[in-house]
Amino acid sequence: MQKFEKYKVLIILQTALLFAVLVSVQSKSVLLIVISILLLISVSIRVYLERRISIQFKALEKFEYDANTDDYSNTRPVIITPLPKYKHGILFIHGFSAVPTEFDNLLSKFKDSGSFIYAPLLTGFGKGDLRGLKNVKYSDWVRDVLNSYDLMTNICESIDVAGHSMGGLLVCKLAEFRKINKIVLTAPYLTVHKSFSLKKKLLINPAIYFILSFFLPYAIKSDRIGNEGAEKLSRFIYDIVPANCVKELWKLQEMVNYSKIQFNKMLIVLGGTDTTTVNSEVYEIFKPHENVEFITLQTVGHNIIERAEEKDLDFIRKFLLN
- pLDDT-wise least confident of 137-146, 166-175, 209-218: 209-218
- Does 78 reside within a domain? yes
Both 118 and 234 in one domain: the answer is yes
User: Does residue 243 form part of some domain?
Assistant: yes
Residues 51, 109, single domain; the answer is no
- For range 21-34, the mean pLDDT: 87
- pLDDT tens digits, 120-139: 999 999 998 899 999 999 99
- The CA dihedral of 171, 172, 174, 178, to the nearest 10 degrees, is 120
Examine the domain organization and report whether 29 and 142 are in the same domain: no
Position 56 confidence tier, pLDDT thresholds 50, 70, 90: confident
Do residues 43 and 157 both lie within one domain? no
Evaluate whether 184 touches 172 at the Cβ level (below 8 Å).
no
Q: Which of 40, 62, 84 is the last residue of a domain?
A: 62
In a domain, 67, yes or no: no
- 127, part of any domain: yes
Residues 217 and 287 in one domain: yes
**Domain limits for position 103:** 72-321
Is residue 290 assigned to a domain? yes
Q: Please count the structural domains in the chain.
A: 2
> Which of 28, 62, 96 corresponds to the end of one domain?
62
pTM of the model: 0.83
26 and 90 assigned to the same domain: no
